[in-house]
């Protein structure tokens, strides 16, 4: 049985009450480099996004889930993007907003819960992640969870007039 609940956290769908958290996260310039964001988001834009977040993954080809403690504290987001049901693959990304909550196993648990859901409930064959080469913590995390490096995209991401390589990691469900 697939569950989105783990020992420390659970994953849930976005709700209207997530507006303030989403506003903080999307406008936190320290995560823009990994999220690809280049401009701030208004609460009105994010409110519209939340109103449409219920749409089916098969329709919009993406899914965003909230990472919460069992005490219902919101810690971060985990995303599914480029969902390709025909090819049975999708990309995933994760962000834990508060630095103090990182390196506690929360990210590992969230990724494990999500990949199990994608493999078992949605029948995907593979998931992948794109991680900047200097994001050593994320590279370590995904590798620890069985993702293997399958490529390097040279000078792939420009941030503050610097180009960085992006590492492509993949996990295949055998």
**What pLDDT, in 10s, does the model give residues 118-172?**
999 999 999 999 999 999 999 999 999 999 999 999 999 988 889 999 999 999 9
Q: Following DSSP, what letter does each residue of 9-59 receive, concatenated?
A: EEEEE--GGGHHHHHHHHT-GGGHHHHT--S---HHHHHHHHHTTTS-HHH
By residue range, what is the domain housing residue 113?
9-125
In a domain, 162, yes or no: no
CB 27 within 8 A of CB 40: yes
CA 42, distance to chain mean position in Å, is 21
pLDDT digits (tens, 9 = 90+) for 25-76: 889 888 887 777 878 889 998 988 888 888 888 888 899 999 999 999 999 9
Res 1: pLDDT: 57
In a domain, 43, yes or no: yes
Res 57: pLDDT: 87
Domain count for the chain, please give it: 1
β-pair partners for 153: 166
β-pair partners for 65: 13, 78
Query: What average pLDDT does this structure show over 88-106?
Result: 93
Domain with 84 in it: what CATH number?
3.40.630.30
In a domain, 142, yes or no: no
The DSSP code for 112 is H
User: What integer best gives the mean pLDDT of the chain?
Assistant: 92
Tell me how far apart the alpha carbons of residues 83 and 51 are, in angstroms, rounded to a whole number. 21
pLDDT at 8 over 90: yes
Radius of gyration of the chain from Cα atoms? 16
In a domain, 144, yes or no: no
In a domain, 140, yes or no: no
In a domain, 171, yes or no: no
Tell me how far apart the alpha carbons of residues 4 and 80 are, in angstroms, rounded to a whole number. 14
The helix/strand/coil state of 69 is strand
Q: Which among 138, 82, 83 has a CA at the least distance from the CA of 110?
A: 138
Q: For tokens 């049901």, what's the residue?
A: 85
In a domain, 169, yes or no: no
Res 7: pLDDT: 95
48 CB-near residues (< 8 Å, 6+ apart): none
In a domain, 111, yes or no: yes
């Amino acid at each position: 049985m697939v569950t989105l609940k783990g020992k420390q956290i659970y994953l849930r769908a976005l709700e209207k009450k997530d507006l303030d958290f989403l506003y903080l996260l999307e406008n936190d310039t320290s995560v823009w480099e990994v999220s690809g964001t280049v401009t701030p988001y208004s609460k009105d834009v994010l409110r519209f996004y939340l109103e449409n977040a219920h749409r089916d993954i098969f329709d919009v080809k993406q899914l965003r889930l909230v990472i919460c403690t069992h005490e219902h504290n919101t810690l971060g987001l985990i995303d599914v993007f480029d969902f390709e049901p025909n090819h049975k693959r999708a990309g995933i990304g994760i962000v834990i907003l508060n630095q103090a909550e990182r390196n506690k196993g929360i990210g590992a648990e969230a990724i494990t819960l999500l990949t199990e859901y994608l493999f078992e409930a949605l029948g995907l064959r593979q998931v992948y992640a794109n991680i900047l080469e200097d994001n050593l913590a994320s590279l370590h995390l995904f590798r620890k969870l069985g993702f293997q490096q399958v490529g390097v995209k040279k000078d792939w991401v420009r941030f503050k007039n610097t180009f960085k390589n992006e590492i492509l990691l993949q996990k295949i469900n055998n």
